[in-house]
Structure 1
Amino acid sequence: MAFRMHGAPDEEDLRPIDPGTLRRVFATYVWPYRRRVASAAAAMVLVSVTGLLPPYLLGVAVDRCVIPGDLRGLTLLALVYVGVHLVNWLGSYYQTYTMSWVGQRAIYAMRRDLFAHYQRLDIGFFEKHPVGVLISRATNDVESMSELISSGIVYIINDALTLVGIVAIMFYLDVRLALLSMMVLPLVILLATRFRSRVMAAYREVRRQVAKMAANLQETISGIRVTQSFVREEVNRARFDATNRDNYRANMRAAYLFSIFVPLVDLVGALGMAIVIWFGGLSVIGALREAAGAVAGPAGAGGLTAGELIAFLTYVTRFYQPIRDLTVVYNLAQQATAAAEKIHAILDTPPGVEDRPGARDLGPVEGRIVFRDVTFAYVPGEEVLRGVSFSVEPGQRVALVGPTGAGKTSIINLLGRFYDPQEGAVLIDGQDVREVTQRSLRRQMAFVLQDTFLFSGTVADNIRFGRPGASLEECVEAAKAVGAHEFISRLPEGYDTQVGERGGNLSVGQRQLVSFARALIADP
């Protein structure tokens, strides 16, 4: 049994599983598929039961068919043995497929909700949170939840049922031998407890290092032009090597713990097996001597058949596997809980700018803009604008001029209501922008930003971004109006040319012209 270890962007405290967090995830994303989960659980019971039968059948075959020489009975038991495994396979297939289906549906819904919430959050949120962190939430953290839902639940139910079933059968076969085999159980529990606390720390370090490496990659690739312009390739390579080395060491630490724990459990299991072989062997020898009329073995040793000993030994070898698996699943649950807490921390974050209750749609405007005694600060106490008042008449062209940090961009952000002022008001045609819906307000604006951003797709797709229903002819007219048609016509596929990520296939000036056409065709 093996699980992948996923990255996450920040460190977490070594805290126990919070049932409330997992309950919320299951109530929201798994409960809608409860009927499928219930059918999978029934299949898990079937798998556990059929998985417990083969050792017992083996013992029966030895005692009742092999030793007496009953060929017909042996053939029948062999067929039953194959049939049990066939039923086990069918149950395993159904439970695995069904829970994978549920897990994929759950993470699909989780990613959908997370992406939709990202779209609603205000600009200030994204300025405070690195892009790599937000991407990690929707990829690595959601994937951790998928593993718990798809695989973790299956292992928890199967291993728990298997463990209970094995103990019950062992006591049914021989109470004394079962008690003897349990002598090493405290040692297994001690190992599992020590392993759990250490591997939790190792997992979290792996998650932190993977996130650091992802953030380093994202920053380096996004700024590759600057890197090459300042000949920083070697410095960046050294930085990435250091981060990559830390990630390697963290993963090797986790692998080291697993490489110690698994063989140790097997070693303890071998000790339990040795106890069963010794005392069980004495019991079988005593039974054989009694059957042959010879002197009985050690007191109380008789009564166990050779087939029962074989079955018992098989159950003992399988007894420690569920314990080992459940320990690993517990750590998987720890990872999933930490991931769920971070995902819900974002989902529970309200947008900094929301439509007020009763906000109305802004009808067609003439375009009179008034800033009335506006005070604004991104950080409390550090005001960017203080008591700013001015007006712009419809059709009037206004240039905002000032040094860096004077508040030019902030005025545009307040006009589009990407932020709200702490004091004062911004009005369009006499209406406070906080009293109208953001959607209706921004539909009547067009922005051409200093840092031009184009999306992956064709030139035409980017021009019609603000009005998806615009025809190709309208795109051409908008491009002609801003002087972009000539260079677009020279592109390999004209308006169907792919611009690449962030418009990387175009020059800075060409991207600026496309953004002009995009603003014009929106026709605010």
Structure 2
Amino acid sequence: MSHKTKKFLSYYRPYLGLFFADMFFALLAAVISLVYPMIVRYITNNVLTGAGIAEMVPTIIKLLFLMLGLLILEYISNYFISYKGHIMGAKMEYDMRNDIFEHYQKLSFNFFDNQKTGQLMSRITNDLFDITELCHHGPEDLVISIIKFVGAFIILLQINLPLTLIVFAFLPIMFFFAVRMRGRMSSAFRKNRERIAEINAQVEDNISGIRVV
């Protein structure tokens, strides 16, 4: 593991409890989203076709209460992910910003002579914000995507094996286009950040020059 990777992961260390709680609720929300279709499928295939009205209604009511409980649990999970997860991201952003500012304090005068203030400010504001968004949303989205993908694949295999294989046969094609578009988006995103840094530098120069004028 490189030094940069270790340094990046070290920002999670003070908030490991919050991080694992966030991952737990992300996992829970993903699992609940897979349970809903299974309940609806059970009602359609078993309850509505295999019993009379007298037996059907109580079963449907029980399942509706079950879905309501899952809905409340999913809401709590998403609330924790959105609120507490962003708190973790904000704290990590605070730590990173302090470290960057401390690093700026140790740099030589020649460095600042060759750099524009607006670009330096852009690094500790816009760029750092995007990094902390990755710190927060990256692990969550990864866990949710893996759980949903694997769970959906297993469920569909039990329903219809040939149709499942046909559907998932298109995944390599989708993956190819996703990787290809990712390269273009990364290039466009990099140019966008560079342009924003230039704009910030121009704004800073113009504002600081007002006093002279």
| 1:291-312 CA-partner distances (Å, limit 9, x unpaired) | xxxxxxxxxxxxxxxxxxxxxx
- Which one of the candidate residues 21, 36, 39 is aligned to 2:4? 21
The DSSP-based 3-state class of the residue aligned with 2:169 is helix
- Paired letter, 2:210: I
Matched, 1:195 2:181: yes
| 1:351-372 CA-partner distances (Å, limit 9, x unpaired) | xxxxxxxxxxxxxxxxxxxxxx
- Paired letter, 2:32: T
Per the alignment, residue 222 of structure 1 pairs with 208
Following TM superposition, by how much is the alpha carbon of 1:155 offset from its aligned partner in structure 2, in angstroms?
Answer: 0.9
Provide the rounded CA distance (Å) in 1 between the counterparts of 2:118 and 2:98.
18
- Which one of the candidate residues 74, 77, 96 is aligned to 2:60? 74
Following TM superposition, by how much is the alpha carbon of 1:106 offset from its aligned partner in structure 2, in angstroms?
Answer: 0.8
Distance 1:103 1:214, change over 3 A: same
Following TM superposition, by how much is the alpha carbon of 1:130 offset from its aligned partner in structure 2, in angstroms?
Answer: 1.5
Distance 1:122 1:190, change over 3 A: closer
Q: How does 1:445-460 map to 2 (within 5 A)?
A: none
Per the alignment, residue 105 of structure 2 pairs with 119
Provide the rounded CA distance (Å) in 2 between the counterparts of 1:26 and 1:98.
19
Name the structure, 1 or 2, with higher relative contact order (CA <8 Å, separation 6+): 2
- Paired letter, 2:170: V
Provide the rounded CA distance (Å) in 2 between the counterparts of 1:50 and 1:141.
34
Q: TM-score, normalised by structure 1?
A: 0.38
Give the conservation status (yes or no) of the 8 Å contact 1:44–1:91: yes
Query: Based on CA coordinates, which of the two structures has the bigger radius of gyration?
Result: 1
Give the conservation status (yes or no) of the 8 Å contact 2:23–2:139: no
Provide the rounded CA distance (Å) in 2 between the counterparts of 1:134 and 1:214.
9
| 1:246-266 CA-partner distances (Å, limit 9, x unpaired) | xxxxxxxxxxxxxxxxxxxxx
Following TM superposition, by how much is the alpha carbon of 1:147 offset from its aligned partner in structure 2, in angstroms?
Answer: 0.5
Distance 1:160 1:143, change over 3 A: same
Give the conservation status (yes or no) of the 8 Å contact 2:122–2:196: no
Following TM superposition, by how much is the alpha carbon of 1:19 offset from its aligned partner in structure 2, in angstroms?
Answer: 6.9
Provide the rounded CA distance (Å) in 2 between the counterparts of 1:108 and 1:225.
31
Per the alignment, residue 91 of structure 2 pairs with 105
Following TM superposition, by how much is the alpha carbon of 1:20 offset from its aligned partner in structure 2, in angstroms?
Answer: 5.6
Provide the rounded CA distance (Å) in 2 between the counterparts of 1:171 and 1:135.
52
Give the conservation status (yes or no) of the 8 Å contact 1:96–1:154: no
Provide the rounded CA distance (Å) in 2 between the counterparts of 1:97 and 1:65.
39
Give the conservation status (yes or no) of the 8 Å contact 1:61–1:74: yes
Distance 1:186 1:118, change over 3 A: closer
Provide the rounded CA distance (Å) in 2 between the counterparts of 1:212 and 1:128.
14
- Which one of the candidate residues 1, 11, 15 is aligned to 1:33? 15
- Paired letter, 1:21: K
Give the conservation status (yes or no) of the 8 Å contact 2:22–2:81: yes
Provide the rounded CA distance (Å) in 1 between the counterparts of 2:96 and 2:132.
10
Q: TM-score, normalised by structure 2?
A: 0.89
Provide the rounded CA distance (Å) in 2 between the counterparts of 1:48 and 1:55.
13
| 1:450-472 CA-partner distances (Å, limit 9, x unpaired) | xxxxxxxxxxxxxxxxxxxxxxx
Provide the rounded CA distance (Å) in 1 between the counterparts of 2:112 and 2:168.
56
Provide the rounded CA distance (Å) in 2 between the counterparts of 1:19 and 1:151.
22
- Paired letter, 1:45: L
Higher helix share: 2
- Paired letter, 1:187: I
Give the conservation status (yes or no) of the 8 Å contact 2:18–2:84: yes
Give the conservation status (yes or no) of the 8 Å contact 1:37–1:98: no
Provide the rounded CA distance (Å) in 2 between the counterparts of 1:44 and 1:23.
24
Identical aligned pairs, as a percentage?
26
Give the conservation status (yes or no) of the 8 Å contact 1:44–1:157: yes
Per the alignment, residue 28 of structure 2 pairs with 46
Give the conservation status (yes or no) of the 8 Å contact 1:96–1:150: no
Following TM superposition, by how much is the alpha carbon of 1:98 offset from its aligned partner in structure 2, in angstroms?
Answer: 2.7
- Paired letter, 1:193: V
- Which one of the candidate residues 144, 158, 161 is aligned to 2:130? 144
Per the alignment, residue 155 of structure 2 pairs with 169
Provide the rounded CA distance (Å) in 2 between the counterparts of 1:170 and 1:126.
59
Following TM superposition, by how much is the alpha carbon of 1:123 offset from its aligned partner in structure 2, in angstroms?
Answer: 2.8
Gaps in structure 2 of 5+ consecutive residues = none
Q: How many equivalent pairs are there?
A: 209
| 1:29-58 CA-partner distances (Å, limit 9, x unpaired) | 112211221122222221111111001111
Per the alignment, residue 42 of structure 2 pairs with 60
Higher strand share: 1
Give the conservation status (yes or no) of the 8 Å contact 1:47–1:91: yes
Provide the rounded CA distance (Å) in 1 between the counterparts of 2:196 and 2:34.
40
| 1:109-168 CA-partner distances (Å, limit 9, x unpaired) | 111122233233333332222211221121112111111012222111111111111111
Q: Which runs of 4+ in 1 moved over 6 A?
A: none
Provide the rounded CA distance (Å) in 1 between the counterparts of 2:86 and 2:22.
10
| 1:186-220 CA-partner distances (Å, limit 9, x unpaired) | 22112212211111111111111111111111111
Gaps in structure 1 of 5+ consecutive residues = 1-17, 230-524
